[in-house]
Structure 1
Amino acid sequence: MEALSQFFTTVGNWVWGPAMLVLLVGTGILLTIMLKGLQFSMLGFALKQAFFPHRKKADGSDHDGDISHFGALMTALSATIGTGNIAGVATAVVAGGPGAVFWMWITAIFGMATKYGEGVLAVKYRTTNKKGEMSGGPMYYIERGLGSKWKWMAYAFALFGTVASFGIGSSVQSNSVAQAIQTSFNIDPLYTGVVLTILTAIVVLGGIRSIATASSFIVPIMAVLYVAGGLIIIFLHLDLLIPAVKLIVSDAFTGQAVAGGAIGSVIRYGVARGVFSNEAGMGSAPIAAAAARTDHPVRQALVSMTGTFLDTIIVCSITGIVLVMGLMGSGGEFIKPELTGASLTTTAFDQLLPGPGGWIVTIGLIFFAYSTILGWCYYGEKCAAYIFGEGFANIYRAIYVASVMIGTIASLDLVWLAADTFNGLMAIPNLIALLLLSGVIVKETRDFKAKRQSGELH
C-alpha cells in the first residue's frame, strides 16, 4: 500500500506538474486567439441558449439527441460543481495563498474556449448506438476526427475515464458526504452509505434521461442556495470586500508567485485547482454535451462553455472571496490557517455568518458531492462502453453503485491519489485531439455564424 501510494504520488505530481498546466492553459489561449475571443463576444448569447432557448425551437426537441441543451448543461455541471468548489478552493488558498483565486479566474477565462472546443467536437463526431442513444466525447472525436491510427489514444482516454469515475466520481464523493453528515449530525457512515447507494441506484439505473432530470432539479437549487449564502456574507461584510479583492490580485503578482522557476506556488495551485474544479480540458463534459438535442454543434458548445463560467467565475469565486475575507488580519494581511479543505471553508462561512454559515457549506457539500456521483456515472459508463461494448453498460452501473457504498465506509487516501492521477491523465489525449482538430472547431464556428447571418439558423 505504501509503495502504491508513493507511485501514485510521483505520477500525480508529474501529471499535475508545470508541463501539464502549461498545456492545459496554453490550449485555452490558442483556441481563444483562433476563435477571436468568442467566450467574451458570445457569452450573453450562450447564457440565453442555456436558460432561455428560442421559443419556436423550444429545447431543440425536433433535432437529434437524447436530452435538452439545459439537461446536458446540468448533467455536466452536476459532475463539475462538486467538492472542488468547496474543499478544492480552500486547498488552493492555503497552499498557494490568496493570489491562487486570481489564477483560478484566469484559468476559467481561457478554459471557456477549451470547453467550447470540446463541445463542438463532441456533437460533430457523435454517433448513435444500438439502443438509439447518442454516444460521444473525446474517444469518438479522436477516432472519427483523427482517424483509425489514433484509436489507441481514444482507448487510452476511455480507460483513464473509466478508472477515474470509480474514484473521483463515486467513492471519494460518497466518502465526503458520509464524513460531512457524521460531523454535523453524528450519523454512522454505514447508514449514510445505504441511503446514498439507494438514491444513486434509483437515478443512474435509468440512464442519461434520468440523470439529466435529477441534475436539472438538484443543480440549480444547490448552486443558487450556496451562491446566495455567500453573497449574504459578502454584503454583510462589504467593508472587507475591496481589501480582499486587492489582496487576491496583489498576491497573484508577488515574488512568491514566480518563486521556484517558471511557475510558482500561487500560479500552480490556482491553475491546478481551477482546472480540477471546472474540468476544462479534462474531456469529461463533452461526453454529456454529445447527448444534447441541437441543430448545430456550435449551439451546444456555447451552452457547454457557460458551465466553466458558472462553476469557476461564479461558484468558486464566492468560496474564494469569503475565504480570503475570513483569513485577513486587521491590517489587511493574509493569515495562513491551520485548517484546510472543507473544514476551512465551513469555519470561514460560520465565522462570517454565525449559525447558518456552517450549515450552508455542509448542505452544499452533501448535494454537490451527490450530484457529482450522478454525472460521473454517465461519463464512466460511456467510457466503459467504448472499450467493452454497449452490453457492458448495466454491469458498469451495478459496479458503480457498489463503489458508492464502499466509499462511505472505507479509508480512501490511496483512492484519492489514484483518482487524482487518472483524472489528470484523461486530459493528455483530449488536449492533443483539441490541438490537432482546432481547425475543425474554427470551421464549424464560421459555419454557424454564417448560417445565423443568412437566417438559416436563429
Structure 2
Amino acid sequence: MLTILSDLLWSKVLIAVLIGLGVWFTLASRFVQFRYFGNMFSILSCKNRQHDDKHLSSFQALVLSVAGRVGGGNIAGVAVAITLGGPGAIFWMWIVGLMGMATSFFECTLAQMYKSSEEDGSYRGGPAFYIERGLGKNWKWLSVIFSILLFATFGIAFTTLQSYSVATSLEDAFGIPLYFSGIGLALIVGLIIFGGVKRIAQVAEVLVPVMAGGYLLIAIIVISLNLSDIPAMLELIVKSAFGLEPAIGGGIGAAIMMGVKRGLFSNEAGLGSAPNVAAVAYVPHPANQGIVQSFSVFIDTILLCTCTALIILLGSAYDPSIQDSVQGVALTQASLATHLGEWGRVFVSIALLLFGFSTILYNYYLGENSVSYITHSGNNDFVMNAFRVITICLCCVGAILDLGTVFAFADLTMGLLALVNLIALAMLFKPAKRVMKHYEEQRKMGVKHPTFAAEDFADLDLDESAWPKR
C-alpha cells in the first residue's frame, strides 16, 4: 500500500508540481538563481560572517545545509537513478536542480522573514513558522502536519537509513560487522548532538568542505583520465532523457520519475528541510540566505551528483544488460575501483561514512526543530534529551535492520512533505517576491550589503524581535 501511494505521488503529482513551480519561480523572479549567483561569494566573505554564540553565520548555515544535502543521495541515490531510470535520469536531476535553485531561494528567504526569536536570543524557523505566520492562524493545522511529516521523514526514517548506508558500506569495504559500525556511529553522534546546533554547525564547518572537496578532487582525476569520453557521456545522458537512445533501465518515463525523485532526495529543493537551517543564521537581509541556499543546491546536484554520474558511466561496472548487476552504493564503489583500483572502493566507503555522519547530524536538527514546534518545548531539556536518546538508538538499530518498509515509508512521507511545502510556497510567493524586490532596490541604489527591518513590512506578521530596528 505504501509503495502504491508513493508511486502515485511521485509519478504524477510531484513531477508536475515541482517542475511547474520551479519554472514559475524562475520566470517570475527573472532567473534570480543565476542573476545573484556571483553575489553569493561576497555574502560568505569574512566581513559578512556576522554571528555570535547564539546564532549561526551565513557560512555555517550553508555548510550545515550542504551537510544534509550532500550524502547518500549523491553516492547511492545517483547510482539507483541510473540503474532504474537509465543515464537520462541524470538530465532530469539537472533540471530539478536548476529550477530548484529558485525554489530554494524563495523557501529560505521566507524562512528568514518569518523566523522567531527564542527566549535565549537564538532563532528558530522553517516552513511550519512561515505557514502559521504567513498564511495566518487558520492554517496552523497545516504547519502541524508539516512538522509531523518532517519529524517522521528526517528525525526517524532518514536517520535510520543513513545509519544503514554507512554500516553496509563499511562492511563491504572493510568487513566491519554492522552492529560495530552502528554502535560507533551512535557514540560519536551522541557526543555532538548533546552540544546543540552550535556544536553541530562547528563540526559541519570543518567536515563538509573537506569531504565535498575531496570527493570533487577524485571526480576530477577520473574525468581527467577519461577526458576524450566526456562529450559522448554527456550526449548519452541528454539523448536518453528524451528516449533517443535504446531504452535503458525503463525508458523515458522511468528516467523522468527517477530523476525527479532522486533529484529531490539529493538536493531537497522545495522539500522544506533546508529552510529550518536557513532560518537560524544571522544575516542582514532574508534574501542573503536565499541566495546562499540556492548555491547549496548547485553544489549538490550540478557538481557532486554529476561527478558520481560520470564516475559510473565512464567505468565498466555499470552494465544495464545484466539484470542482477551491482546497484546502489556498491555500483559507485565498483565503478571507482575500475578507474583507480581497489582503493577507489575504500575511498567511496570513507566518503559515504563522512557524508552519512554529517547528514545524521542535519537530520537530528530537523527532528529537533519539529519537536520544538509541536510541543513548544524549545528550552525543555527533558523533551530534547529524550529525542537525542532516540536518535542515538536509531543509529544503532538502523545499522542492522531490514529497511525495505522504512524506504517505502520515507519515500511517501518525503513526497507528502514536499507537497505541503510547495503549496505553502505558491500561496506565499507574493510576499517573498516583495522582499526580493526590497533587496534588489537597495542594490540598485548602490548599497553593497542591503539590510532588512520588520518595521518596513508592518502588514506582515513578522517577529520584530528577530529583526533589529533601524
User: TM-score scaled to structure 2, two decimals?
Assistant: 0.90
1:225 has 2:214 as partner: yes
Answer whether contact 1:229 1:357 (CA < 8 A) is retained: no
Answer whether contact 1:327 1:335 (CA < 8 A) is retained: no
Q: Given residue 251 of structure 1, which amino acid in structure 2 is its aligned partner?
A: S
Partner secondary structure for residue 451 of structure 1 = helix
Per the alignment, residue 267 of structure 2 pairs with: 278
Per the alignment, residue 3 of structure 1 pairs with: none
Per the alignment, residue 425 of structure 2 pairs with: 434
Per the alignment, residue 448 of structure 1 pairs with: 439
Per the alignment, residue 369 of structure 1 pairs with: 356
* Counterpart Cα distance in 2 of 1:214 and 1:179: 24
Answer whether contact 1:167 1:419 (CA < 8 A) is retained: no
* Counterpart Cα distance in 1 of 2:326 and 2:385: 41
CA deviation after TM superposition for structure 1 residue 417, in Å:
1.5
Identity value in percent:
35
Structure 1 moving runs of 4+ over 6 Å: 256-259
* Counterpart Cα distance in 2 of 1:380 and 1:136: 13
Q: Given residue 59 of structure 1, which amino acid in structure 2 is its aligned partner?
A: R
Per the alignment, residue 327 of structure 2 pairs with: 340
Q: Relative to 1, partners in 2 of residues 1:150 and 1:210: Cα closer, same or farther, differing over 3 Å?
A: same
1:410 has 2:405 as partner: no
Answer whether contact 1:119 1:300 (CA < 8 A) is retained: yes
Q: Relative to 1, partners in 2 of residues 1:254 and 1:29: Cα closer, same or farther, differing over 3 Å?
A: same
1:22 has 2:16 as partner: yes
* Counterpart Cα distance in 2 of 1:389 and 1:173: 28
Q: Relative to 1, partners in 2 of residues 1:336 and 1:122: Cα closer, same or farther, differing over 3 Å?
A: farther
* Counterpart Cα distance in 2 of 1:367 and 1:385: 27
User: TM-score scaled to structure 1, two decimals?
Assistant: 0.92
Out of 28, 50, 68, the residue aligned to residue 60 of structure 1 is 50
1:345-394 Cα deviation digits (max 9, x unpaired): 11111112213321221111111111110001001110111111222322
After TM superposition, the structure 1 = structure 2 runs for residues 316-331 of structure 1, keeping only pairs within 5 Å, are 316-327=305-316
Answer whether contact 2:155 2:366 (CA < 8 A) is retained: no
**Residues matched between the structures, number:** 443
Out of 27, 31, 34, the residue aligned to residue 37 of structure 1 is 31
Which segments of 5 or more consecutive residues in structure 1 lack a partner in the other structure? 1-6
After TM superposition, the structure 1 = structure 2 runs for residues 42-121 of structure 1, keeping only pairs within 5 Å, are 42-50=36-44, 52-53=45-46, 55=47, 58-61=48-51, 66-121=55-110
* Counterpart Cα distance in 2 of 1:70 and 1:344: 33
CA deviation after TM superposition for structure 1 residue 418, in Å:
1.1
Q: Relative to 1, partners in 2 of residues 1:47 and 1:93: Cα closer, same or farther, differing over 3 Å?
A: farther
Which segments of 5 or more consecutive residues in structure 2 lack a partner in the other structure? 450-470
CA deviation after TM superposition for structure 1 residue 421, in Å:
1.5
Answer whether contact 2:22 2:100 (CA < 8 A) is retained: yes
1:383 has 2:370 as partner: yes
CA deviation after TM superposition for structure 1 residue 258, in Å:
11
CA deviation after TM superposition for structure 1 residue 39, in Å:
0.9
Out of 309, 334, 339, the residue aligned to residue 298 of structure 2 is 309
Answer whether contact 2:167 2:181 (CA < 8 A) is retained: yes
Per the alignment, residue 4 of structure 1 pairs with: none
Per the alignment, residue 228 of structure 2 pairs with: 239
Q: Given residue 76 of structure 1, which amino acid in structure 2 is its aligned partner?
A: S
C-alpha RMSD of the superposition: 2.2
1:138-169 Cα deviation digits (max 9, x unpaired): 00000000001111110010000111124443
Using the TM superposition, name which of 314-323 and 421-430 deviates more.
421-430
Q: Given residue 383 of structure 1, which amino acid in structure 2 is its aligned partner?
A: S
Answer whether contact 1:74 1:215 (CA < 8 A) is retained: yes
Q: Given residue 187 of structure 1, which amino acid in structure 2 is its aligned partner?
A: I
Per the alignment, residue 135 of structure 2 pairs with: 146
* Counterpart Cα distance in 2 of 1:265 and 1:415: 22
Answer whether contact 2:77 2:266 (CA < 8 A) is retained: yes
Q: Relative to 1, partners in 2 of residues 1:249 and 1:309: Cα closer, same or farther, differing over 3 Å?
A: same
